[in-house]
Amino acid sequence: MGKSEIVNQKSKISIGFSPCPNDTFIFDALVHNKIDTEDFLFEPSLEDVETLNEHAFAEYYDVSKLSFFAYALVSDKYQLLNSGSALGFKCGPLLISKHQIDIANISKIKIAIPGKYTTANFLFSIAFPEATNKTEMLFSEIESAIVNGTVDAGVIIHENRFTYEQKGLKKIIDLGEYWEEKTGMPVPLGGIAVKRSLPEKTKYKIDRMIKESVEFAFANPRSGYDFIKANAQEMSEEVMYKHIGLYVNKFSINLGEEGRKAVQRMYEFAQEKKIIQEMHRVIFVRHN
């Protein structure tokens, strides 16, 4: 039997994730067959996280990275996997500006956010519920918008944590620290969701394979360099690996009880604030 015939017998699984270094680091081994993907053929699409959030509403991918906040709005269509997530301490979004701004005045200024459905916007909304003058932008455009005065301040995510000071911008508040002080829990940023309609056995296998992909990446940190670098745009290697170090950790291998509790607490907060409705279905894929 030829190689093409074997490939044709595999079940195709569409998977969407971002081109950010943490995601390409996590998924490199999975999508490039550096681990045994058994009877699956993973077909990757790389898109900005807010685009992934929006695509989840239409069930675009079988498996998708998305903001934990956005997941609450598609929990009837998807379940959360235990592997591949971005959670942690001291890694949350930052509110920045050209000038120091008094916290009491945040509601009076124009703020850029990296998407309506992002966890960054959710955390900002919890901290500043009266700040409604928001403009949605691609996360990579927010620093420039602040510098040129299009907005007064912005909520930044991803590698912009490492670059904003070089542009003369200042931190107003670390929204991750705000969450940690309020809850004592890691900040849930992004998770991996799988279609509820897939067979349970398939969900378990995908979860296990993503875990193996993360473990492979940790064991062979330079293995995915070309894939990571190709999608990191003009990011320096130093920033690229700082990014990975910040967002890929033990929770990426397995959320565990601590990670799942943090995610659940986020949804409790959102329900208390009437930002989302109560979710009645089991949200995490559970292994037998």
Model confidence, pTM: 0.89
- At residue 8, the pLDDT reads 58
Distances (CA, A) of 107 to 69, 131, 147, 176: 22, 4, 20, 19
In 182-272 the beta strands, taken as DSSP E runs, fall at 187-195
Around 88, how many Cα atoms within 13 Å sit in the side-chain half-sphere? 20
Which DSSP string corresponds to 168-207? Answer: T-EEEEEHHHHHHHHHSS-EEEEEEEEETTS-HHHHHHHH
- Residue 188, φ and ψ in degrees, nearest 5: -85, 115
Closest CA to 227 of 7, 2, 82, 30: 30
Largest CA distance in the chain: 69
Rg of the chain on CA atoms, in Å: 19
Closest CA to 221 of 17, 26, 91, 33: 26
Cα 56 → chain centroid: 13
Report how far residue 276's alpha carbon sits from residue 85's, in angstroms, rounded to the nearest whole number.
21
Report how far residue 233's alpha carbon sits from residue 240's, in angstroms, rounded to the nearest whole number.
10
Q: Which residues are catalytic?
A: 158
Task: Supply 161's token pair.
Answer: 């944590």
288 residues of the chain, pLDDT tens digit each: 334 444 457 899 999 999 999 999 999 999 999 999 999 999 999 999 889 999 999 999 999 999 999 999 999 999 999 999 999 998 889 999 999 999 899 999 999 999 888 989 989 988 898 999 999 998 889 999 999 999 999 999 887 888 899 899 999 999 999 999 999 999 999 999 999 999 999 999 999 999 999 999 999 999 999 999 999 977 889 989 998 999 999 999 999 999 999 999 999 988 888 888 888 889 999 865
Around 18, how many Cα atoms within 13 Å sit in the side-chain half-sphere? 29
- Residue 17, φ and ψ in degrees, nearest 5: -150, 170
Cα 206 → chain centroid: 18
- Residue 133, φ and ψ in degrees, nearest 5: -85, 80
- At residue 288, the pLDDT reads 53
Sorted by where each starts, the structural domains of the chain and their CATH numbers stand as 8-88+188-272 (3.40.190.10), 94-183 (3.40.190.10)
- At residue 226, the pLDDT reads 96
**Cβ atoms of residues 185 and 261 within 8 Å:** yes
